[in-house]
Amino acid sequence: MTAINNQQPRTDWHVCGLVVQCRIQKINEIQTALLAIEGTEIPGADADKGKLVVVMQSHDQQILLENMERARNIKGVIAVSLVYHEQDELSARPEQEPKN
């Protein structure tokens, strides 16, 4: 007997912007640990204030939540604040045909 998979392929994408407050003396180690998390970028940093601007992306909301939790658990991280979240549902977009 063959199982039939009725699930549609994932066609959504999640992006979130975070501010990570960290201990100033640990900022380099925290940056390295954050960049080891798949789908994570650090487009901005203020080392003097111990703040990092972090962008995380994933096709799955649960993975994104787990990655934010991983960031929060990095030694030297004081707080992780979600400041932006966007979900792009590609399957909801109608196909556009080129105009002649």
- Alpha-carbon span 78 to 51, nearest angstrom: 10
Does residue 40 contact residue 68 with C-beta atoms inside 8 Å? no
Q: What is the pTM assigned to this prediction?
A: 0.77
Give the pLDDT confidence score for residue 74 in this predicted structure: 98
**pLDDT in tens for each of the 100 residues of the chain?**
333 344 555 578 899 999 999 999 999 999 999 999 999 999 999 999 999 999 999 998 999 999 999 999 999 999 999 999 888 876 544 554 455 5
- Alpha-carbon span 67 to 13, nearest angstrom: 15
| Domains of the chain (ranges, CATH numbers) | 12-88 (3.30.70.920)
**If you count them, how many residues does the chain have?**
100
Does residue 59 contact residue 2 with C-beta atoms inside 8 Å? no
Three-state secondary structure along the chain? CCCCCCCCCCCEEEEEEEEEEECHHHHHHHHHHHHCCCCEEEEEEECCCCEEEEEEEECCHHHHHHHHHHHHCCCCEEEEEEEEEEEEEHHHCCCCCCCC
